[in-house]
Structure 1
Amino acid sequence: MKKIINTTTDSEIIEEYVCNGCGNKVQVIKMKMLFGPQKGQWFETKKGCDCEVLGIIKTQQQEAKKARLMKIFEENSLINPSLREATFDNFIPGEFSQSFEKAKKYVCDFDIKNPKNLLFQGSFGTGKSHLSVSIAKALTAKGYTTIFISTPKLLTKIRNTYNKNSEHGEEKIINSLAMVDLVVFDDIGAEGETSGWVMQKLFEIIDLRAGKHNIYTTNLSSSEFEITKDMGRIFSRMLINTDLIKMNGTDFRKRQFVKGGA
């Protein structure tokens, strides 16, 4: 039976305690209905607890954080317009259902303290980039910072920093890649050069991300990476703590074209 601490004609303080949630002193008050059809009946209420208000504030903060993380993704990612709407929901697995499930599992198992990489390797138009964008967006929604980078565009962007009229410096671009939780390096090998500045810079950036979460996509086979020493060195770095997902098949765009013309 609850002990009555204080009482008046229309109310009784029947319990006092410190709330574990908000830390406030809370009073449980038994009060008499003064108006309405239940006039004269007693009910219990709480006074002093801020848990509901704090819950609303926490939800608002979480939504603000998600918006901020999505802004980081959108402002820093170098992504083709055709991929901007890509998500797990609009990916059509077809023959790549296993790849689809592995991509979703990567999101579920993501642990900032246990970095792991994925390498999507295969022919054109099979959905490698779509799945990579989907992973990045899903992790952003979970509260992680992510960036999706078209590797050829990244190298062009860095090269443009050498122009004296450039708004951004090379160091700022590279630092932004170093700081986020996940970077997707899309279309490695499409830069068309196999030695020189491009290979050196690409190695430098991938090496900088060692020990962090990364996703790589490429149309090159393992043997094509071994054409030059520089490419082989990059490929070796990409394979560290990396799960390989092969996606060789019919170009999705060609499948749609054939279907539409049938």
Structure 2
Amino acid sequence: MNGLFNPKLANKLEQKTQPKLISEGKCDKCGRDYEEYQFKSGYSYRLGCDCKMIEQGKEMTKNFKQRQNQKEINKILSFSSENEETKNASFETYIPENENQAKAKVICERYASSFNQDNKQSLLLQGSFGLGKSHLAMSVLKEVKDKNYSVLFINLTELISKFRSTFDKDSQFTESELEKAIGQVDLMVFDDFGMNVTDYGMSKLFQIAESRVGKHNIITTNLSLKELTKTKDQQRLFSRLMSNTTGITLEGDDHRMKGFRNLT
């Protein structure tokens, strides 16, 4: 066996696997002296300072908690308003038909890419039917969800129906559990926001709005600002939801009507 041992080759192999000292100094955070080594794979670590490992551990814990949070939310609220159009929605499949829609797409892409919990911002997507408001909102939601944030996309009418369903004896969740899920989700999309609701619906909307103040929300609506604020209650509700909100008005023709032919 000794006759097969090659000291030079062994030394070369050892050099290849050993990390290389690339820097040394004093950590700005903890003040400890360190030596930074790097492996051939590109992975590096600091000997004498654990700040980087601590940050990585915090990030892993944060991601785990976010995934667990999404699981808990999905037990109560699934993507119930998702349809064939929004299910396949992405920024790649949204084709702007004019400069206005192109600008709206850029704003939404920027919102998704810069999404974080330290800077709470919301979007209001207004415009007529068939301009891609829900498409853009779902595109944002999918990118944010890929970052391990908890998300929810739901039609406003269906949301009120879910609150009503909590009164059924066979309901799988309570009203308070539903309120908690809505309040803690990282990004909430209120699709097709309207004002034709009952007194009960309006009271629940006030509760929802209160729980979402200072958080990330996206609202899509076919209504104008005037239609959204007809009464004092509507003005109060809209005012609460518009905190730190950027308004985007989409313009153009209804893309759903492109294949329509009037044969009469």
Equivalence for 1:23: none
CA distance in 2, matches of 1:178, 1:67: 16
1:236 aligned onto 2:200: no
Alpha-carbon shift at residue 89 of structure 1 (Å) = 1.5
Q: Is the 8 A contact 1:69 1:140 kept in 2?
A: no
Which of 159, 163, 167 pairs up with 2:164?
Answer: 159
94-103 vs 249-258, which deviates more? 249-258
SS in 2 for 1:94: coil
Which of 103, 122, 133 pairs up with 1:117?
Answer: 122
Query: Any gaps of 5 or more consecutive residues in structure 2?
Result: 20-36, 45-55
Q: For residue 239 of structure 2, what is the amino acid of its counterpart?
A: S
Greater than 6 Å deviation, 4+ residue runs: 64-71
Per-residue Cα deviation, 1:123-162 (whole angstroms, up to 9, x for no partner): 1111111100100001111222111111111110111111
1:84 aligned onto 2:90: no
Q: Is the 8 A contact 2:153 2:188 kept in 1?
A: yes
CA distance in 1, matches of 2:251, 2:206: 26
The verdict on how the C-alpha distance between 1:135 and 1:47 changes in structure 2, with shifts beyond 3 A counting, is same
SS in 1 for 2:258: helix
Equivalence for 2:17: 46
CA distance in 1, matches of 2:176, 2:67: 26
What are the residue-to-residue correspondences of 1:25-44 with 2, within 5 Å?
31=10, 42-44=12-14
Per-residue Cα deviation, 1:180-213 (whole angstroms, up to 9, x for no partner): 2111111110x622x5111111121011111111
CA distance in 2, matches of 1:70, 1:172: 14
CA distance in 2, matches of 1:115, 1:78: 25
SS in 2 for 1:120: strand
Q: Please, what is the CA RMSD of the aligned residues?
A: 3.5
1:255 aligned onto 2:258: yes
Aligned residue pairs, count: 219
Which of 172, 181, 187 pairs up with 2:177?
Answer: 172
SS in 1 for 2:138: helix
Query: Any gaps of 5 or more consecutive residues in structure 1?
Result: 1-7, 13-28, 33-41
The verdict on how the C-alpha distance between 1:77 and 1:127 changes in structure 2, with shifts beyond 3 A counting, is same
1:132 aligned onto 2:137: yes
The verdict on how the C-alpha distance between 1:172 and 1:107 changes in structure 2, with shifts beyond 3 A counting, is same
1:203 aligned onto 2:182: no
SS in 2 for 1:216: strand
Q: Is the 8 A contact 1:150 1:187 kept in 2?
A: yes
SS in 1 for 2:128: coil
SS in 2 for 1:249: coil
CA distance in 1, matches of 2:238, 2:258: 30
The two structures have a TM-score, normalised by structure 2, of 0.71
Identity of aligned residues (%): 34
